[in-house]
Amino acid sequence: MIVFEEFILKSTLEAIKTLYSTEIQSNLVQIQETRKEFEGDITIVVFPFIKISKKSPEITANEIGNYLVQNCNYVYQFNVIKGFLNLSVKPEYWLEFLKDLTFADSFGTLPKNSSGKRIMIEYSSPNTNKPLHLGHVRNNLLGYSLSKILQANGHEVIKVNLVNDRGIHICKSMLAWQKWGNDITPQKSGLKGDHLVGDFYVKFDQEYKKQIKQLTETGISAEEAEKRAPIIIEAQEMLQKWEAKNPEVISLWEMMNSWVYEGFKETYLKLGVDFDRVYYESQTYLHGKSLVQEGLEKGILYQRADKSVWIDLTSDGLDEKLLLRSDGTSVYMTQDLGTAVQRFEEYNNDELIYVVGNEQNYHFQVLSLILAKLGYSWAKDLKHLSYGMVELPSGKMKSREGTVVDADDLVDEMIKTAREMSQELGKLDEFDELQTNEIVKMIGLAALKYFILKVDPKKGMTFDPQESIDFNGNTGPFIQYTYARIRSIFRKAGETGIKLSPLNNNQALSNNKEGSLIKTLYKFPVILSDAGKNLSPALIANYVYDLSKEYNQFYHECPILKEENSEIRNLRLHLSEETGKIIKLSMNLLGINVPERM
């Protein structure tokens, strides 16, 4: 398949050599898509050449433009806007591209593991003291989609999850269950295990606040009250017992964690995400503690009088970081050190990408720096996909106060809303109950996933369930409907005996919308590559929306099955088929299914 940009690059280098008797490096030739407000398909930035031409940007651009029109088979006209040379590509090129596209498998993707690069990506990373919530949904969807995008770019990808199953927050839920649980279980309560445990986390916080209030009323400062509240002291004692392997505490911990794991498993299945390997903080924190001991012996870390262990990063422009508490218990950083080392030892990764919210930016900056100081050369290969927080129209959510939107409830609500809106629009009339359930589930999940993934990961966002299921806007259901429309065309074609045949060598475009659609299809490989480089599923999401929008304009302007000219009809059917393939592939990269009918 001809790559037009490579052809233009080669021709531009020849133009410079011929016109100005100078050979230049290819990196001086900047090629980009022509902006929509100007005529043309591809733009060359001329400014780097004016030292060679010794002429103004406009004159230089005109000279190069004339050369390309005369000597480059696929360029038929140009225009100059200041120092930018806008080239128009002959329709014959786009037809040749479409013909090649009909024979291409998985257009734009690279063969599996062809890059020779192994990338590990960590996402989800839940705590076992509460169910997954809306923030986790964004995390999981980003991580899973990114893994598929990186795989499509030819990388070997290892998807991992780190379950934070130990620590003071876990002990809070355990202690609350001990005090007020009355031996309740998921089976007795009818609740999912993660929801039941999350309720006790909320209960702990409610009681903790009561005790703080009581203490402050005696004249103690709020800060001191937070430390002296009996319930927090009990939780800290429970953590020490856990690290000392107290049988009773370990038994309670295993029981409650098993409830949560079952709950997580169900939620992951609903969201359609999975992992190649699951790590548990309870199994990696000891490795981290041994690294801390090693750092102490090397003088990289230091111990304070209270026996707590720290690293001083003030000379690096940061602050001092706690690695072990005075009672010997570890912190998040401790286990992250151990987990990172274990992963590189096990998999010899080229990169390790952490999908974690932007409130942890400092944490990962410190993690990389400590590992480098401990002598790990691969510390530079740690990357943090720092995504923005997701809120509801009502504002922020807080787990401890029980104001979060649980992932399970959100998925169920999305499916319910999809059913209601689809019924209202008459889109379910031809389906039986089994088909309806499958379709509304597909629509509801697409609405949720697309709405979240279309936003640049680095930006914060507000999730609006109603807006996400609009069948006419920049939404998952709109794109699904476009794909279903294409499949409907081919069902009708089959019913009337119309079949695809190879494109004619002398075929011509009969409508500008045909050319616009082909050009949009042509962009996919670059979009996929950029999405991988920028760790941004949003680039794929917004591309597939633009493609769907372009197809619908083409569909309304260009009759397909009613077109009497068989060659034109055949061309439009090929365009529809290739568009459907790219829509399906793009949505798959976002972890979204598309229905055959809708």
Lowest mean pLDDT among 104-118, 263-277, 298-312, 460-474: 460-474
Residue 71 lies in a domain: yes
* pLDDT tens readout for residues 373-424: 999 999 999 999 999 988 877 654 444 444 568 899 899 989 998 998 888 8
In angstroms, the Cα distances linking 29 to 11, 23, 68, 519, 567 are 11, 12, 14, 22, 39
The answer to whether residues 127 and 78 belong to one domain is no
- Count how many domains the chain has: 3
Query: Average of pLDDT values for 526-553?
Result: 97
The answer to whether residues 276 and 417 belong to one domain is no
Domain's final residue, options 391, 421, 451: 391
Lowest mean pLDDT among 7-21, 34-48, 92-106, 190-204: 92-106
Supply the DSSP symbol for 539: H
What is the domain range of residue 304? 123-391
Domain's final residue, options 391, 418, 439: 391
The answer to whether residues 449 and 499 belong to one domain is yes
In angstroms, the Cα distances linking 72 to 14, 69, 315 are 10, 6, 58
pLDDT for residue 190: 96
User: What is the 3-state secondary structure of 214-279?
Assistant: HHHCCCCCHHHHHHHCHHHHHHHHHHHHHHCCCHHHHHHHHHHHHHHHHHHHHHHHHHCCCCCEEE
Residue 239 lies in a domain: yes
The answer to whether residues 78 and 157 belong to one domain is no
Residue 137 lies in a domain: yes
Residue 399 lies in a domain: no
CA 434 to chain centre: 31
Residue 107 lies in a domain: no
pLDDT for residue 170: 95
Residue located via tokens 């620590």 = 167
Domain's final residue, options 391, 415, 447: 391
Residue 103 lies in a domain: no
Report the CATH number at residue 523: 1.10.730.10
From the number of C-beta atoms within 10 Å of its C-beta (0-12, 13-18, 19+), residue 559 rates as: middle
* pLDDT tens readout for residues 125-150: 999 999 999 889 999 999 999 999 99
Report the CATH number at residue 76: 3.30.1360.70
Report the alpha-carbon distance of residue 329 to residue 244 in Å, rounded. 10
* pLDDT tens readout for residues 360-370: 999 999 999 99
Most confidently modeled range among 282-291, 470-479, 485-494: 485-494
Residue 98 lies in a domain: no
Angle made by CA atoms 305, 310, 312, in degrees to the nearest 5: 115
* pLDDT tens readout for residues 279-305: 999 999 899 999 999 999 999 999 999
Q: Is the pLDDT of residue 312 over 60?
A: yes
* pLDDT tens readout for residues 49-80: 999 999 999 999 999 999 999 998 889 999 99
* pLDDT tens readout for residues 160-193: 999 999 989 999 999 999 999 999 999 999 999 9
